[in-house]
A and B are shown apart, each in its own frame.
Chain A
Amino acid sequence: MNNIDNFKKKNPFTVPENYFEEFEKKLMEQLPEKTSEPKKQKFTTIKKVIISLVATAAVMAGVMFMIKPTTQEAVTVAEATNTETQEVVFTSSEDEDFYQFLEDDATRKEATSGYYVSL
């Protein structure tokens, strides 16, 4: 037999009756439960941490800018401000509302950045 096209006409392989219907049912029963948390939540957590770190760095940079004058008065003010700022950051580190505010703030900045660039 030289014409191999003839072998396509009849499939010699068969399957048990209702095999595919039962396969789905059996497979779904034995699928392991997913134990890891949904990715979206992980992403949000990481995002929140990054935003809080960036915000802290920004506040610290602001404080450093303020203490640049070398007069005793300026240093005193800077120390006071620095202490105050750190307290605020520490207090807020577990505050979901604060994180939400930072996230919203970052979103607002992203949304308006085009405006500033175009200036």
Chain B
Amino acid sequence: MAQWNETEMLQRLQNADTQREAFAQVVRTYSERMYWVVRRVVLSHDDANDVLQNVFIKAWTNIESFKGDAKLSTWLYKIAVNESITFINRQRMHPSTSIDDADSGLLSKLESDEYFDGDELQRNFQRALLTLPEKQRLVFNMKYFDEMKYEDISAILGTSVGALKASYHHAVQKIRAFLEQTD
């Protein structure tokens, strides 16, 4: 959680003399939170590490365009979500990869990931999550794991609260159905 005044931080980020030091503080404060946003989408640690670096490099490159209209955390969340989706889509766009192959690719990477120590039930749960459409999976992750308010998710994804509630409800139903089938 940020321990600073947003206005003061924005001023430091926009000032060439204090920009780098202020950004280090941003990385220190938000890297763990953003890591879990990314990791739950791309699943393997190595991929999450690469994507997380891109998130902060992109934030650094575009810091001048951040005017403080939204909270810094919301802005970073947006970049993290976009970079994660771009990473997944890039894998899917590979000529020899179908959507199912890409999802099973994510799963096989997860299974060989030394930084995943889930049991068979946990693996099956991840399989169930991968059956969800991308945006539904994001909504589910933010609500279920991060326990975010719908209003905050709405600010990040640009979707109405009503639509998010419906999306989360459908996601839970699909996951339950998948787990019942594979029980």
Contact = CB atoms under 8 A, between A and B. Distances in A.
Contacts of B60: 31-32
Interface of B is mostly: helix
A39 B53 contact: no
B122 A31 contact: no
B32 A27 contact: no
A101 interface: no
Interface stretch (A6-14, A56-64, A80-88, A89-97): A6-14
Interface stretch (B22-30, B72-80, B151-159): B22-30
Contacts of B49: 23
Contacts of B64: 39
Contacts of A32: 57, 60-61
Interface string A94-119: 00000000000000000000000000
B175 interface: yes
B115 A4 contact: no
B39 A13 contact: yes
B45 A31 contact: no
B179 A12 contact: no
Contact of A8 (B20, B145, B172): B145
Interface residues of A, number: 24
Contacts, number: 78
A20 interface: yes
B31 interface: yes
A61 B166 CA distance: 65
Contacts of A8: 144-145
Contact of B24 (A2, A24, A38, A40): A24
A38 B116 contact: no
Contact of B180 (A2, A14, A15, A20): A2
B35 interface: yes
29 contacts: A2-B176, A2-B179, A4-B125, A4-B144, A4-B175, A4-B179, A7-B121, A7-B125, A12-B116, A12-B117, A12-B122, A13-B36, A13-B40, A13-B118, A15-B45, A15-B115, A16-B115, A23-B27, A23-B35, A23-B52, A24-B27, A24-B31, A28-B23, A28-B24, A30-B57, A31-B57, A32-B61, A34-B16, A40-B15
Given A4-B179, A12-B119, A30-B53, 19 more contacts: A1-B179, A7-B125, A8-B145, A12-B122, A13-B36, A13-B40, A15-B45, A15-B115, A23-B27, A23-B49, A24-B31, A27-B31, A27-B57, A28-B20, A30-B57, A32-B61, A34-B19, A37-B16, A40-B15
